[in-house]
Amino acid sequence: MKKLSQFFLLLFTLQYSSHSLAWGLKELGEEAASPVTTTADRILLYGGIATLAAIVFEDNIDVAHDKVVNDKPLGDFSRYGDWAGQMVPNALYVIGQTMYGAAGNKIGFERALGMFKATAYAASVTTVLKYTIQEPRPDMHNERNSFPSGHTTTAFAFGGYILEEHGWKWGVPALLVSSFSGLSRVNDNRHRVHDVLAGATIGLAYGVAIAKLDKKRKEKSEHNFTVVPIFDQETKGLALIGSF
């Protein structure tokens, strides 16, 4: 996990610096707040309601949770859910899109950066919540970092970004992978249902929101225009320069 995270960060740094992408505090604020300022706010609303309901009815849900833990319906397949939550799909997507960009398709670099940002913001929010709330894990009470689920967060950041950027054709399989990751965390008794719901909400919201924000910025830049005065021996007036 640690090595993969380091590789992921190195890949992003190389890509970021080599393409001189403009970015600053303004962009940081816009991106951090994007789940609230875009239509992804509905994901936060409904996901928050679902998480709150799971907390309120925790005693009832724990009966089903304990049955899943005892039966372990996913068996050895849960390891793949664990991998999916360790940013493996996210990293593979970044690598693939970076190669696509290197082949001459600019959108590849844009998508690689978008996936990285969605994953990074979502994981950062979840990490802050983990060590602020300090809820014990169901299997090891001395580990106080259960809420929200980090694996589920990064898995749904992947699924949300794929859904918004590539549509339902690729989005549905990506979200199924994300859901499997969340289920595996309950199966392995590493998280309770409300941990997984909270992680899914944060990840999905950032995955969708970052993709939407990047599209909005791109459309804005493509429709910018500038009025330039022209003064020479034959012409005096204004010129409109831009792209539409």
Mean per-residue pLDDT of the chain? 86
Question: Of 153-157, 180-184, 235-239, where does mean pLDDT reach its minimum?
Answer: 235-239
Provide the pLDDT for residue 8. Answer: 52
**What is the pLDDT confidence band of residue 28, given thresholds at 50, 70 and 90?**
confident
Higher pLDDT, 185 or 11: 185
Lowest mean pLDDT among 111-120, 180-189, 217-226: 217-226
The CA-atom distances, in angstroms, between 101 and each of 9, 98, 122, 212, 231 are: 18, 5, 24, 20, 41
Mean pLDDT for the stretch of residues 191-216: 97
What is the rounded average pLDDT of the residues 68-80? Answer: 93
Alpha-carbon gap, residue 210 to 105, rounded angstroms: 20
Tokens 């050895």, residue located = 76
Global pTM?
0.84
How far apart (Å, rounded) are the C-alpha atoms in residues 84 and 153?
11
Per the structure, the count of domains in the chain is 1
- Across residues 212-222, what is the average pLDDT? 85
Residue 27's pLDDT is: 84
> Is pLDDT at 80 greater than 70 in this prediction?
yes
Count CB neighbours of 96 within 10 A.
Answer: 14
pLDDT tier for residue 219 given thresholds of 50, 70 and 90: confident
Strands 236-242 and 225-231: antiparallel
**199: nearest Cα among 240, 141, 148, 127:** 148
In this structure, what CATH number is given to the domain that contains residue 188?
1.20.144
Q: Give the DSSP H/E element, type plus range, for residue 54.
A: helix 41-56
The range of the structural domain enclosing residue 81 comes to 2-242
| pLDDT value of residue 26 | 80
Q: Which pLDDT band holds residue 239 (cuts at 50, 70, 90)?
A: very low
pLDDT digits (tens, 9 = 90+) for 110-142: 999 999 999 999 999 999 999 999 999 999 999
